[in-house]
Structures are given as structure tokens and as C-alpha cells.
Amino acid sequence: MNRFLSNATNRIDAKGRVSVPSAFRSVLSGGGVRELYCFQDFVFPAISVGGPELLDRFERQMAAEDPFSPAANEMSLLVHGGGVFVKLDPEGRLMVTDFIRDFTGISTDVMFVGRGDYFQLWEPQAFAKAQAAAREGRKSRGLRPE
């Protein structure tokens, strides 16, 4: 399996560390990724995490449009100003910094949510709410999975 899928909740220990689920770690090492790029998601109260190529993709998108446009300017503010690089410890854990806590509301547990080519860090209850809202949205519009 080569993409980030499903979700899992892990506890933050006394030192502020949390284990990245094994399944996610194998996707990362499978892609030869050793350093992670994290940024505050554009729509959800979650931190999005992926390999450095995630940042590359954003920069390409910005380059595609007028670099002085309000949209590109705004995006740079989020992507560059709201992004950090982090690396995992030998056991595959990452530090849950205030940068992450403040933006997501995470305090004791972290929910890892696969998003295909990247994954996200959520406060568990916030995710439940967002997912329920997404499901309601689809239902009310009468959309089916097929």
C-alpha cells in the first residue's frame, strides 16, 4: 500500500511525544522520506503532514499564477509562514509542539487521519464532528459513492 489511509488515535506521553502509526511510517520510508513538512490546513483545524514534495507542489502552483496576485500572496503566507519541517525520533515519534496544539486544540491524544498522499493530525472530537458534517453534506445533496 502506497498511500495514507484510515485513521488511528495515539496518546501523547509525558514528554510531549506521540507515535506515528506504523502503517503511515511504512508509506513514508517506502517513499524514502526522512523529513516531514507540516502546515496548518487551509480549511480544517488540523495539521497536514507529508514529504517535502508537498511543499514543492504548493510552490509550483503559486508559480503558475501571478506571484503578486492576492491569491498567491495569501497562499505563500500560509504555506511558508505556517509551515515547519519536523523529523521523527528513532522509534517513529514526533514532538507535539505548541504550534500543533494551538492550531488543532490537541491536548492529550492525537488522531492521525490518512488523506491519500499526505496525512493529518486532528483533535479526535474535532475530527468526528467534521466527518459527520461531511457525511451530512453528501447525504443532503443526494450523492452516492458510485
Partner DNA sequence: TGGGACCATATGGGCGTCAATGGGATTGGC
Partner DNA sequence: GCCAATCCCATTGACGCCCATATGGTCCCA
**From candidates 6, 29, 61, 97, binder to DNA by CB under 7 A:** 97
**From candidates 31, 45, 83, 124, binder to a copy of itself by CB under 8 A:** 83
Q: Which does 87 bind (CB under 5 to 8 A by kind): a copy of itself, DNA, none?
A: DNA
In the DSSP assignment, the letter for residue 79 is H
Q: How far apart are CA 70 and CA 66, in angstroms?
A: 9
**From candidates 15, 22, 43, 90, binder to a copy of itself by CB under 8 A:** 43
Q: How far apart are CA 96 and CA 32, in angstroms?
A: 23
C-alpha cell of residue 81: 509562514
Q: Is residue 21 involved in binding DNA (CB under 7 A)?
A: yes
* DSSP H helical ranges for the chain: 22-30, 53-64, 70-79, 98-104, 124-140
Q: Is residue 24 involved in binding a copy of itself (CB under 8 A)?
A: no
C-alpha cell of residue 125: 472530537
Cell 483545524 found at: 45
Q: Are 37 and 54 in contact (CB under 8 A)?
A: yes
Q: Are 96 and 16 in contact (CB under 8 A)?
A: yes
Q: Is residue 49 involved in binding DNA (CB under 7 A)?
A: no
Q: Is residue 75 involved in binding a copy of itself (CB under 8 A)?
A: yes
Which residues of this chain interact with DNA, rule CB under 7 A?
8, 10-11, 13-23, 25-26, 87, 89-93, 95, 97
Q: Which residues bind a copy of itself (CB under 8 A)?
A: 1, 3-7, 35, 40-44, 48, 55, 57-59, 68, 70, 73-78, 80-85, 99, 113-116, 120, 127, 130-131, 134-135, 137-139, 143-146
